[in-house]
Amino acid sequence: MGEVVATIKLMPESPDVDLEKIKQSVESCIPEEAELHKIEEEPIAFGLVALNVLVIVDDGEGGTEAVEENFSKIDDVSNVEVTDIRRLM
């Protein structure tokens, strides 16, 4: 089985949310079967900034489900969405 890199977008509840706090929560809630690659900030509009979290997971069935579930439990995150999945060579 190979590995894929998944981009998961975390949308904060408001522009006033502390992104550094969310980044720390992301780092601490990565499941054992996943590896955090990097976190990028993406300006959306009117001061709202989303976080694009790149994680490496197995390409088997349900590969990102545990990561998505953990991210959805983070305080001040309103939406979690997988935006891209690419196979690693």
Q: What is the pLDDT of residues 23-73, one digit of tens each?
A: 999 999 999 989 999 999 999 999 999 999 999 998 877 789 999 999 999
- Give me the domain span that covers residue 29: 3-87
CATH number of the domain enclosing 54: 3.30.70.60
Please give the Cα distance from 23 to 79 (Å, whole number): 15
Please give the Cα distance from 17 to 29 (Å, whole number): 18
With b meaning 16 or more CB within 10 Å and e meaning fewer, what string describes 10-21?
Answer: bbbeeeebebee
- 88 has a pLDDT exceeding 90: no
The dihedral region occupied by 62, where left means phi > 0, alpha psi between -120 and 50, and beta the remainder, is: left
How far, CA to CA in Å, does 38 sit from each of 2, 3, 8? 20, 16, 11
Alpha helices in 10-84 (DSSP H): 19-28, 65-72
Domain count for the chain, please give it: 1
Tell me the average pLDDT across 63-86.
Answer: 94
Predicted model pTM? 0.92
